[in-house]
Structure 1
Amino acid sequence: MSKGINMAALKNSTSNRPLDGICDFYNGKTLFITGCTGFMGKVLLEKLLRSCPGVAKIYLLIRPKKGQEAQERLQQLVCSPLFDTIRKERPMDLHKLLPIEGDITQPELNIGPSDRAVLERTVNVVFHSAATVKFDEKLKLSVTINMLGTQRLVELCKRMHQLEALVHVSTAYCNCDRYEVKETIYPPPIGPAQVVSLVEALDEDLVDSLTGELIGKRPNTYTFTKALAESWLKDNKGDLPLVVIRPSIVLSSINEPLKGWVDNWNGPTGIIAAAGKGLFRTMLCDPNKIADLVPVDMVINLMIVSAWRIAHSPSKEILVYNCCTGMRKPIKWKDFVHLCFKYSRKHPVMDVSFYPAGSVTSHRYVNNVRKYLLHWLPAYVVDTVVRIWGGKPILLRIQDKLDKAAVCLEYFATNEWRFDDENVRQLALTLSESDREEFCFDVAKIDWNNYLENYVLGIRRFIFKEDASTLPKARRQVSRLYWTYKITQVLSVLCIWHFLALRYAPLRRLWSNALRLLLHIARMLPFI
């Protein structure tokens, strides 16, 4: 898709006729959402209910899980703090949510015939955000969910008589094998049909052994299968009114409905949460590279607006939107890490193990030394003491999980990309002032200081479930740990210096003179 085609379509549509407001567009519409129980899906659901009150019905594809039926999982979902405003102000709107039992990994999405008939007859807008976001997922399962699941959804959408928009959520990193990523779909080195044939024909162990060769320059199966899904969509979308949203690294909400809301440990969040506990202090990362991070509510607003846009201006080409911050509001990894540690100390969690401090380095050897000294050694010592006292050691197990999470992030923290976002900018120009405010996706408005402070507070409140009333006690604890941390640093330096002084005569003389000077000052102090 060329940028010229996109821009021409946008200009022609705005000049020919005025567009309805976004809320007006959703009045009376029936929606279908996959991935509604995931992080982004929940925010999408809440935003649609709150800002588009005229929505008629929202069908939700929900897989039964752990003995819970779809209806039970839906009830659990809407009990989240995320839906507090809806429950208090418009509780009847929750009745618009209708669970459809199904499974993205199964043929026909495992949706029953009667439910399929309802969807085919009534749905106007589809949001497809169901995916496995595990970077280290096995290729077979990743293909099944991210690739085949998308194919099955498209087959269903082609039978929807009233469909006006299909929004597919991808990732900005599906093209991480190239430095500059435009808002277009690039062909993968291996065709989707070939990969599907291999995965279906071979057993899982053989697929695992071939994974590295298949994904090529991409770092994981997630980015690889997302690229495959985009390529398949380009060749098989037919006449579907399709848009693709590509967010970068999605973090907590910046504004809506709760500042700092986050409910999972994925991506940097788990690392920052562990750093706040004092359990994580070093990571392989290029401090001067741009960290392309984006608030979840801005991604959701872009999704809602993009559906409105494609419904008003159908296009034969797939419209792609890179939802990223690196071009318009960049922040470097060193600044992100510094601010997260700063606010983790200002708003500490309870039961911190060690004083929250640390840094990043682009040198693998230095990072490995730091890991052994600052992560593994303390964990081994503490677990040994706990085992001696008859307790259950857990720190080594925690460090193992953190180490795997850090390895998954290394590729993104040591590289940098230029994600073109011209389509996103042009889309914003088509909005009225009120819609631009209600459905804001202008990343240039992000204040990183304020946002990351709320991010850390959100981790404290929503991940660790700690009330604001516990902050004074937590701060006192961190203050004590601070002095312990400083005293330990001084003693460590003195021990190292003493060890060196014993081996080298010039250092030994310097060390002796320093000690004499300190003793002399100590004798003088009472008389000053």
Structure 2
Amino acid sequence: MTGVTSELGCNLLEKLLRCFPGVKIHAVLRSREFMNQTDRIHKRIWNSPGFERLRQERPDAMSRVECYEGNLIYTDLGIREEDHKAVANVSLVFHTGGPAKKLLDYCHKLPKLQAVVVTSNLFSVVPDQIIETALEGDPDYPSDLPLVVLRLPPLGPAHRDPLPGYVEKLQEATALMVGAGHMYGRADLPVQIIPMDIATNTFIGAAWELDKRGKDVKLGPTFYNASTIDCSWGELIRKGARASRNFRYPTFRVRGMSSSWMLHWLLVFLFEWLPSFICDTILYITRQKPRMLPEYRRIRKLLSDFEPMTTRTVNINHRKINDLIKLLSPEDREAFPMRAELDIEAYVLCAAAAVRRYCVNEGNLKIVRYVMPAFCAFLVLTISYLYYNWERIYNAFPIQCPTDKHPRKNEE
């Protein structure tokens, strides 16, 4: 496995260890933040909330994980010479993040290799008709490997595994779902999000299908377009209203989506930037650390980066994924669902609860809870005053036309 510390990589690692007790996993990753590769997995990842279920069901699961210092930009992945013999026994390669070229080059040196599954961004290709074959914008994949290329849309919170709605880090899709800010886009377009555990199951299913073909497998890349949530952006936002009320994200924001650029930024200015600026000004005057504007900028960057998903019309073919699902037994379909058939309202509610638990600063929540009603009342009173006293204000500041400077000449 590579990319094991990513959100998708962690979810895939947890699923493999929990559902396949006889599997041994070799993870290639870098040392980082004063932690070596072993500590990053055995301490940070193993002790994370996403592995709580695994810790209870299989407390010795991490004994089946071997960690190697490596880097995806180096030849032979930068693995030490003495570790190559252990890695040579690998039969299946999962690549969940980062550049894949050096990894695919290294796969040619694995004598027992049966399948390679790599991830690709579904929207990195150029055409608006995304079929399950090589397209303009795809990298050059080798034609002499048993390779599966899984095109994924942006990841959303988990549907079921390890926990319903589970998410540790606020990403673009999750920020939209929980109503962290107003979104620019078309509400009628279909949602392009996949729950992370559905993506994990698709990884496993694609590898299984490739291995099932055995000697009949043709070398070269096989492309799959992963399934997405079946609803529109407007429906997702509308059904997330309950989650936004029960588990409010602690920012000054107005929930919704608009296709009007001017209306969108007017709402962002009035209900997101302006109250954040006023609040941080008060915090600065009282010698406290400003916190709302940095949070506003973080959320605004996440949502701005997500705009191509909510404004681009794309027709995506899912024929191969549908054919793969038909090959599974009813038990496997239940254990490894690859189609995001879910209750949207319940899904967003669980996601908002997880975000509230794992991603929210409670101090910000208290500020928003007390300041936002006062700001809205102030804004309403100001607009009402200007509306009912507009004529008086206009007469108090008369605008003199240039022709009025010489009245006699005008009379003549």
**What TM-score do you get using the length of structure 2 for normalisation?**
0.87
Q: 2:299 aligns with which of 377, 394, 402?
A: 402
Is 1:263 equivalent to 2:159 in the alignment?
no
Q: 1:128 aligns with which of 74, 92, 95?
A: 95
CA contact under 8 A between 2:254 and 2:267: conserved in structure 1?
A: no
CA contact under 8 A between 1:322 and 1:424: conserved in structure 2?
A: yes
Q: Which residue of 2 aligns with 1:307?
A: 207
Q: Which residue of 2 aligns with 1:5?
A: none
CA distance in 2, matches of 1:50, 1:70: 21
CA contact under 8 A between 2:165 and 2:352: conserved in structure 1?
A: yes
Q: Which residue of 1 aligns with 2:403?
A: none
Please state whether the residue corresponding to 2:257 is helix, strand or coil: strand
C-alpha displacement of 1:107: 2.4
Is 1:286 equivalent to 2:160 in the alignment?
no
Please state whether the residue corresponding to 1:100 is helix, strand or coil: strand
Amino acid at match of 1:84: E
CA contact under 8 A between 1:154 and 1:237: conserved in structure 2?
A: no
Question: Which region of structure 1 is more displaced relative to structure 2, 260-269 or 480-489?
Answer: 480-489
1:6-45, CA deviations, whole angstroms, 9 ceiling, x for partnerless residues?
xxxxxxxxxxxxxxxxxxxxxxxxxxx0011110001101
Q: Which residue of 2 aligns with 1:208?
A: none
Change (3 A) 1:250 1:68: same
Q: Which residue of 2 aligns with 1:45?
A: 13
CA contact under 8 A between 2:127 and 2:136: conserved in structure 1?
A: no
Change (3 A) 1:353 1:267: closer
Q: Which residue of 1 aligns with 2:46?
A: 78
CA contact under 8 A between 1:172 and 1:419: conserved in structure 2?
A: no
CA contact under 8 A between 1:62 and 1:70: conserved in structure 2?
A: yes
C-alpha displacement of 1:483: 5.7
CA distance in 1, matches of 2:183, 2:108: 46
Taking only aligned residues, the RMSD between alpha carbons, in angstroms, comes to 2.5
Q: Which residue of 2 aligns with 1:422?
A: 319
Q: 2:227 aligns with which of 316, 320, 324?
A: 324
Change (3 A) 1:283 1:86: closer
Q: Which has the higher helix share?
A: 1
Change (3 A) 1:295 1:465: farther
1:111-160, CA deviations, whole angstroms, 9 ceiling, x for partnerless residues?
1111122212x1011001122xxxxxxxxxxxxxx2xxx12111211111
Q: Which residue of 1 aligns with 2:345?
A: 449
Change (3 A) 1:481 1:429: same
C-alpha displacement of 1:334: 2.0
Please state whether the residue corresponding to 1:259 is helix, strand or coil: coil
Amino acid at match of 1:79: N
CA contact under 8 A between 1:289 and 1:333: conserved in structure 2?
A: yes
Is 1:439 equivalent to 2:336 in the alignment?
yes
Change (3 A) 1:437 1:358: closer
Count of aligned positions: 389
Change (3 A) 1:82 1:249: same
1:478-493 to 2 correspondences below 5 Å: 484=374, 487-488=377-378, 490-493=380-383
1:130-149 to 2 correspondences below 5 Å: 130-131=97-98, 146=99
Amino acid at match of 1:336: L
1:426-449, CA deviations, whole angstroms, 9 ceiling, x for partnerless residues?
001111111111111122x22211
Q: How high is the sequence identity, in percent, across the aligned residues?
A: 25
Amino acid at match of 1:283: M
Please state whether the residue corresponding to 2:225 is helix, strand or coil: strand
Q: Which residue of 2 aligns with 1:170?
A: 120
C-alpha displacement of 1:288: 1.8
Please state whether the residue corresponding to 1:91 is helix, strand or coil: coil
1:377-392 to 2 correspondences below 5 Å: 377-392=274-289
C-alpha displacement of 1:493: 4.3
CA distance in 2, matches of 1:317, 1:91: 39
Please state whether the residue corresponding to 1:174 is helix, strand or coil: coil
Please state whether the residue corresponding to 1:318 is helix, strand or coil: strand
Give every structure 1 segment of 4 or more consecutive aligned residues whose post-TM-superposition deviation is greater than 6 Å: none
CA distance in 2, matches of 1:78, 1:171: 27
Please state whether the residue corresponding to 1:123 is helix, strand or coil: coil
Change (3 A) 1:369 1:49: same
Q: 2:60 aligns with which of 88, 92, 111?
A: 92
Change (3 A) 1:413 1:103: same
Change (3 A) 1:484 1:382: closer
Please state whether the residue corresponding to 2:306 is helix, strand or coil: helix
Change (3 A) 1:357 1:407: closer
Question: Which region of structure 1 is more displaced relative to structure 2, 262-271 or 427-436?
Answer: 262-271
Is 1:64 equivalent to 2:31 in the alignment?
yes
CA distance in 2, matches of 1:73, 1:375: 37
Q: Which residue of 2 aligns with 1:249?
A: 154
CA contact under 8 A between 2:251 and 2:296: conserved in structure 1?
A: no
C-alpha displacement of 1:320: 1.1
Q: 2:143 aligns with which of 206, 215, 237?
A: 237
CA contact under 8 A between 2:177 and 2:348: conserved in structure 1?
A: no
CA contact under 8 A between 1:341 and 1:357: conserved in structure 2?
A: no
C-alpha displacement of 1:179: 1.7
Please state whether the residue corresponding to 2:124 is helix, strand or coil: helix
C-alpha displacement of 1:331: 1.8
CA contact under 8 A between 1:82 and 1:258: conserved in structure 2?
A: yes
C-alpha displacement of 1:301: 0.5
Q: Which residue of 1 aligns with 2:387?
A: 497
Please state whether the residue corresponding to 1:324 is helix, strand or coil: coil
Structure 2's unaligned 5+ residue stretches are 396-412
CA contact under 8 A between 1:129 and 1:169: conserved in structure 2?
A: yes
C-alpha displacement of 1:296: 0.7
Please state whether the residue corresponding to 2:56 is helix, strand or coil: helix
Amino acid at match of 1:61: V
Amino acid at match of 1:458: A
Q: Which residue of 1 aligns with 2:407?
A: none
CA contact under 8 A between 2:155 and 2:194: conserved in structure 1?
A: yes
C-alpha displacement of 1:268: 2.4
CA distance in 2, matches of 1:492, 1:255: 47
CA contact under 8 A between 2:50 and 2:162: conserved in structure 1?
A: yes
C-alpha displacement of 1:486: 6.2
CA distance in 2, matches of 1:332, 1:499: 43
Q: Which residue of 2 aligns with 1:459?
A: 355
CA distance in 1, matches of 2:169, 2:17: 22
Amino acid at match of 1:372: F
